Amino acid sequence: MTVSKTSATIRYTAMRLGIFAGCFVVVAGLVQFGVLPKGLGDSNFIWVLLLAIVISAPLSFVLLRRQRDEMSAQIVGKVDSAKTRLEANRAQEDGVTQ
């Protein structure tokens, strides 16, 4: 099954946002129940946000390896085809000039 670059990118991004949202909910719950500290003063939201980012980044790196590789392979394929078209255009222009 071939998937276009756009859908692979959208799928990876959606999954990455999903992991972040899950981490955010878990961290917010842990802060609310007092398992994790609430931060300083009114910084509770920023504290929860930063903790969720720090936790979700390595999770995404490990859990989304296959999707990241698929997206990368599709992007490389598109870049290679663009380079091939560019070289073909250059060769055609060189043939017209000479």
What are the pLDDT digits (tens) for 10-26? 899 999 999 999 999 99
Q: Give residues with Cβ within 8 angstroms of 38, minimum separation 6.
A: 31, 44, 47
Read off the pTM: 0.72
More confident: 39 or 82: 82
Residue of 5, 16, 28, 6 lying closest to 58 (CA atoms): 16
Tokens of 83: 């380079």
Cα-based angle 55, 60, 75 (whole degrees, multiple of 5): 145
How far apart CA 9 and CA 74 sit, in angstroms, is 9
For the stretch 47-89, pLDDT in tens is 999 999 999 999 999 999 999 998 888 888 888 888 999 988 8
